[in-house]
Amino acid sequence: MKEKRCPFLETKTVTFCKAFPSKMIPVDRMSSSEGLCNTCNYEECALYSEVSGAGKGMENVRGFHLKSDYYYHPKHLWVAPSSGEEGEARIGIDDFSAKLIGRIDRISAPAAGVPVKENSVCFLLHSGQRTVRMVSPANGVVKAVNPRVAADPSIINDDPYSEGWLFSMRPKGDAVSGLYHESVARKWFESEVERLQRVFSTDLGITATDGGEALTDISIRLNDAQWGKIVSQFLG
């Protein structure tokens, strides 16, 4: 099967991106695995996302960001079926999870080839001495762990919906059946943000937002017992 390449690339005496013509790639590097332009992973390119519209669809829900064209599991995980390879999907956590957990400095993810079961714990996210046990949003087999996230887990906090994907998998059956999507995802997300606000104000006597924006240091404001309680309610 012919490998898909970025539709913005053309080959003349050099290879260049039509979306950003000053980005030149010498022809003799066409077979190189370095970079994204000449591989089937071009969809990871931030410029490609911006120009093609793939990066659009981000919504702000009371300071928390939501990419409503993804599919969401109730435990704040997203599933993005691949448009490039049939039967594959990427998995990640949403902005709600990222802000609630705090700065992620380590991950414990399943290796390629390991089967995972829907609603069963399959990876861990660590923030200092705190650890969150996250479930799989679908049944399937892990294909690959994001090497960038493995090397620098803080990417998850900075860009949870794109560069911060956790792992890819080959789902068994329909991976998105029963998950929240588009308008349903937004309504669910809004209700979760409201629920978080109530928990903070009623149980803890503090607020999770400031001037309509979600606090980036939510976890820092909580002691271990408070943090564990909230994480259990929303992510556990």
pLDDT of residue 197: 86
At 211 the pLDDT is: 53
Looking at residue 28, its pLDDT comes to 46
Is the CB of residue 101 less than 8 Å from the CB of residue 164?
no
Residue of higher predicted confidence among 170 and 47: 170
Per-residue pLDDT band at 15 (split at 50, 70, 90): low
| pLDDT category of residue 86 using cuts at 50, 70 and 90 | low
Query: pLDDT at position 20, please?
Result: 59
Report the percentage of the chain scoring pLDDT > 90.
55
Mean pLDDT of 1-16: 56
Residue 214 above 70 pLDDT? no
Q: Is the pLDDT of residue 209 over 80?
A: no
Please say whether the beta carbons of 204 and 226 come within 8 A: yes
pLDDT of amino acid 201: 77
Residue 132 has a pLDDT of 97
Q: What is the mean pLDDT of residues 117-125?
A: 96
Query: Which DSSP letter does residue 70 get?
Result: S
Q: What is the pTM of this model?
A: 0.73
Distances (CA, A) of 121 to 12, 160, 177, 190, 213: 50, 19, 19, 25, 31
Quick one: pLDDT at residue 57? Answer: 76
Percent of the chain's residues with pLDDT above 70 = 68
How far is it, in rounded angstroms, from Cα 22 to Cα 24?
A: 6
Tell me what the mean pLDDT of segment 186-213 comes to: 78
Is 214 buried (19+), middle (13-18) or exposed (0-12) by CB count in 10 A? Answer: buried
